[in-house]
Chain A
């Protein structure tokens, strides 16, 4: 049984995101990338797609008080349909585009050393998050909601503190109506047949921390124009800062490395850097169409994670979009960026109402 869960886990959390992110990544990136960036980019984009699809499905189901199993089934159908759609979607060939993943084997000693150091620090952090324990009492709501969905097929209708069936969204549970990240954890638990608390505390942290550094790696490529040593040093310095940015419990780094399974921590640690990266792409690349689609999907994914995600994503997209529009003197950027924030408006209304 554990073996089945492990195999499903590798498929669901490893291979599926790469498959889902393939087409969009190819459309956006018409330049040659090395293997690492190709895999990271596809993985991040694919994960965003999975989160966005879940958000689109889950919120209406919560509003009509449908069962959790319905959300799982609809999500699985949607993911399967998306994969089918991708198989027929032909990427337009561009003369500079490489359709295969290329491998750069020649690296200098310094580059190899820096790469190994960077990977060592990141892997240590991921392993520490997986094997270390940090108790957080907010899990009395977040993780219990996931477990209720897993055990009793109910979304936000049971008081997580007491287990009493209330039939509606009491108190703080109303905040989880537009941002049902807790049920995404339950979804993974359901598919892998693993206890949601184990998924949240033990399995997801390593993956999410690695995703955060994946964002920084892609960012490094945009800033340092693929100077490999500088990219490694950039990510290495960030990793060291994150480990020691502990001036208070409130910092982004503390949220990333101590409670990454919570939605607001994913916003702080993964999504905000990824949004910054997307805005860099928007600024630098000439072909912007698919970047806007990805910004739109990322905005939806941010809404899944937390109420903070709903508003912070729009602030980043809006402010940096305005900056790009002014710097590049292209007012249509502003309009497209505003359209990308439609999810914030819709889910923001749900957040305010409830």
Chain B
């Protein structure tokens, strides 16, 4: 039982990360149950407690949530109506403050507290970045894709890890030896692709002879790697790689059969 609580708490901490919001949520639930009218308790308070009982319950966790969701148990926390409960509780308190000016001040204080809780989701230090194009993909991915499509209508490419998640979101005419599956997603990897990926992890130490062999075996004609002084045009010629284009800090090589 202790193990179960520990696991659940780890997910809980990972989700709320000791933020102010969880304390606000608990306080709000208390406010609704103690200060809210009976109709509000029946509409918001008790259903919230029902959901919390179902979600944060060691028995259900062990025999239902873990079996259904595995590592994704934290997604069940989406069922907690955090934003609804906090908002309702704030308005219960506002309702009790009769003077409009004081209501406004209280509301302002709460909003400032919420804003101070953690960073704004739209701030560039968190999730968002500069938009470079209407596809909202890295511009290098689009430029490299366009360059490849100029060379071939359906180019078969070994793509570097910086771009392989994005290139096929622009054009599915580009075929790749591996993409995100090399990280264990989608359909996983095989020995061939694992060997290729490990060679390209550190370009200075790559066995280009073996890379060329694997490409020829699988009939992949092009390889895209970040520009690197250890992989100059002259050096790569030794392994039958011809530099075709340089695009946005990436080199496109063709293997000669």
Contact = CB atoms under 8 A, between A and B. Distances in A.
A237 B137 contact: no
Given A133-B130, A134-B127, A258-B127, A141 B180 contact: yes
Contacts, number: 249
A272 B14 CA distance: 21
B68 to A, nearest CB: 6
B84 interface: yes
Contact of A320 (B50, B75, B84): B50
A320 B137 CA distance: 41
A39 interface: no
B74 A250 contact: yes
B122 A132 contact: yes
B134 A202 contact: yes
Q: Chain A CB within 10 Å — which of B46, B121, B171, B186 has the most?
A: B121
The B interface is mostly helix, strand or loop, or mixed, namely helix
Interface stretch (A11-19, A29-37, A166-174, A330-338): A166-174
Query: Which among A110, A134, A244 has the greatest number of chain B C-beta atoms within 10 A?
Result: A244
10 contacts: A110-B100, A135-B165, A139-B169, A148-B172, A161-B180, A163-B168, A202-B134, A241-B86, A252-B78, A312-B79
Interface in A291-324: 308, 311-312, 315-316, 319-320, 322-323
A327 to B, nearest CB: 6
A128 interface: yes
A133 B129 contact: yes
Contacts of B121: 242-246, 253-254, 257-258
Nearest to B117: A244
Top 9 nearest A-B pairs by Cβ distance? A171-B187, A161-B179, A247-B19, A163-B175, A201-B136, A161-B181, A247-B17, A170-B187, A140-B180
A150 to B, nearest CB: 8
B172 A147 contact: yes
Interface in A121-155: 125, 128, 131-135, 137, 139-141, 143-144, 147-148, 151-152
